[in-house]
Homo-oligomer: A and B are copies of this chain.
Amino acid sequence: MSTFDFGQETEKLLKWLGQYGKDPNGGVSRFLYKPEWVEAQKALEKYMQQAGLLVQYDDVGNLFGRLEGSTYKDETILTGSHVDTVKNGGLYDGQFGIIAGIIALEFLKKEFGQPLRNIEVVSMAEEEGSRFPYVYWGVKNILGIAKREDVEGMVDFDGIPFTEAMRKAGFHFRPEGSIVRNDIKAFLEVHVEQGGVLETEKKSVGVVQHIVGQRRFTVELTGEANHAGTTPMGYRKDALKAASRIICSIMDLAEHYGDPLVATVGKLETTPNIVNVVPGKVLFTLDIRHTHKDVLVSFSDEVTAKMREIAVNTGVGIEIDMWMDAAPVPMDTGIVDVLKRQCEKNGLSYKMMHSGAGHDSQVMAPRIPTAMLFVPSHKGLSHSPLEYTDPCDLGEGVKALVGALYELAYK
């Protein structure tokens, strides 16, 4: 398969698909069920048909292109990703997984003819939660786990109800009790890394072994707002001093634990936030991620104890609220091995790694054997019009996918 330029073809199709929802000053905004979303799905539908795939939408608008298997007709190998974007996103996040799948299927069909098992590429309706405050609408409907009542009351930023938006785009809720497909035997998602590890380590492809678990906390520190001039240091209950000591200790502990643990204090608000008043209150968020539940738990426990200790020592009150606790999701070791072998067989420069971000694959993985392939994100940039991946790396990612699909569907 070395004569075909996968990278060039991928880049061409990414630019083509990126026209749907193109922002005036660069970037792409393609929100679930918006006209540009409908146009993108229609364009993909047409392209898939011309490539000789059997094309079908499900009830909610997930689009499937199928290369029918000759032998195991009730077994399907699925690949793809999501077609929606964040506001003013780039050309790669989501749509690269769809384009990679289409190119792979076209290539396999031409090169090797009909597979033993069905291979399908999916353009999933939604993953980002950019229009409505709901994520994974696409994959959750494929798996039959999306709940109608979760979205029924929802409106978008313009006040348009979810249901109305869906109907206008030509889709509807999956009928209650309808049969969920049980033919999907594997799911492979190709995606950009959205981080800088592959580029820094000069690797073209990442084979994902885990998607990290996440815990998110809000921490509120309550001290005493006092006059900055007339309150000696020893009289103060400075909530920002306490917060600073806490953040330092979180960072120290995170560095002590080492990769893949990450801990982020992303949001911090000080009250009253006035130059000459000692801060009486500080509210901050803490986001902790790790590939293994036990480490996530032990780090959270250590950090929580440390926060309480510092609060006592600095004389401020503390409230810690954990409002997100998502377990890590391991990828299927069998499919991970297939991907790894393909990287080796094709002489690709690859790295076994984890995903620090959430993906459709993490919803899929507990139910269907799943794995992911990453390609580098230049400078780690993500959710930005500046997203970029070198065409050579795009091509390497597609090659690994082609090899894995061949392994899974032709043997």
Residues of A within 8 A of B (CB): 193-197, 200, 212, 214, 216, 226-235, 238, 240-241, 243-245, 247-248, 251, 254-255, 258-270, 273-279, 285, 287, 289, 355-358, 377, 380, 382-383
Contact = CB atoms under 8 A, between A and B. Distances in A.
A287 B247 CA distance: 22
Number of copies: 2
Contacts of A244: 243-245, 247-248, 251
Given A240-B247, A244-B248, A276 B270 contact: no
Nearest to A358: B229
6 closest cross-chain pairs (CB), A and B = A195-B230, A229-B356, A228-B264, A244-B247, A230-B356, A244-B244
A110 B336 CA distance: 99
Contact of A382 (B227, B233, B265, B274): B227
B230 A357 contact: yes
Contacts of A276: 264, 266, 287
B262 A228 contact: yes
A266 B275 contact: yes
Given A230-B382, A248-B244, A266 B262 contact: no
A405 B216 CA distance: 64
Contacts of A358: 229
Given A266-B275, A266-B279, A357 B251 contact: no
Given A241-B251, A244-B251, A231 B268 contact: no
B267 A231 contact: no
Contacts of A245: 244, 248
Nearest to A268: B270
Nearest to A245: B248
A195 B231 contact: yes
28 contacts: A194-B227, A194-B230, A195-B226, A195-B232, A195-B235, A196-B235, A200-B235, A212-B229, A216-B275, A226-B380, A228-B264, A228-B287, A229-B287, A230-B355, A230-B377, A231-B262, A232-B259, A232-B260, A233-B254, A233-B255, A234-B259, A238-B251, A240-B266, A241-B251, A244-B245, A245-B248, A265-B279, A266-B278
